[in-house]
Amino acid sequence: MTQPKFLIIAIDGGAAAGKSSTSRGLSERFHLMHVDTGSFYRATTLKLLEAGIAPTTDYALVAGLQSLQLDTAISGNNASITINGWVPDESIRSQKVNDNVSHYAALPELRAFLLDYQRSQVQVARDNGFNGLVMEGRDIGSVIFPDANLRLFLHADPEKRAMRRAKEGITDSIEKRDRIDSTRKAAPLQYPDGAIFLDTSELSLEEVIENVSKIVEPLRFA
């Protein structure tokens, strides 16, 4: 049987737009490595907060970033960042991180620091026998993988997004984060030209995965 083509799928969108559930569903269906880059920004934010480094461009930030050794730990289909051997846990989803992450993610130094690491996940996926990778974030289709085989932009109405977070038992300032993420100078959250726009407001998770799978399927042996 012909080997399926190695696929790079980029999924962008605002907070709670359905990126994680969709990415996870696709990763299972097509045996893709799932990479949640939001967790990279959350984990580095937590480490910088712990080190008392403020979200401003200065020597302390550069030195703080240099002290972070990044690697990857695979668990099932999920690729997690590790920082100096630490595997991020639920602490990266705390209120404190929710409140601060957008300010750190707006720093060009932090984005540059994570750029090559994010791109290097392609090789990790190949080395671990995956059929490709599905990477979710805010700038994956615009900056990290503008040539991805598929670039999706997920949207959901603010009320639906708030409901999804409430169901997960998470208090999150979704709209405030989206405002900061969309208006920053470095790699803002935006709909990249030529990406596929999908409004998930009225769709169940199964319907979203089904719709996207119909787009992915023909790409596999193209």
Angle between helices 108-119 and 37-50 (to 10 degrees): 130
Residue 4 found at the interface with ligand DC (CB under 6 A): no
The answer to whether 80 touches 71, Cβ cutoff 8 Å, is no
Residue 53 found at the interface with ligand DC (CB under 6 A): no
Query: In DSSP terms, which residues pair with 151 in a beta bridge?
Result: 10
Specify the 3-state DSSP secondary structure of 55: coil
How many residues touch ligand DC under the rule CB under 6 A: the total is: 14
Residue 88 found at the interface with ligand DC (CB under 6 A): no
Q: What sign has the CA pseudo-torsion 140, 81, 71, 126?
A: negative
- Nearest one of 12, 3, 5, 19 to 216, comparing CA atoms: 5
Q: Residue 15 or residue 68: which is nearer to ligand DC going by CB? A: 15
Specify the 3-state DSSP secondary structure of 133: strand
Report 155-194 residues binding ligand DC (CB under 6 A).
177, 181
Near ligand DC by CB under 6 A: residue from 8, 22, 23, 42: 42
Near ligand DC by CB under 6 A: residue from 24, 34, 138, 160: 138
Residue 37 found at the interface with ligand DC (CB under 6 A): yes
Note the residues at the interface with ligand DC (CB under 6 A). 15, 37-38, 41-42, 101-102, 105, 137-140, 177, 181
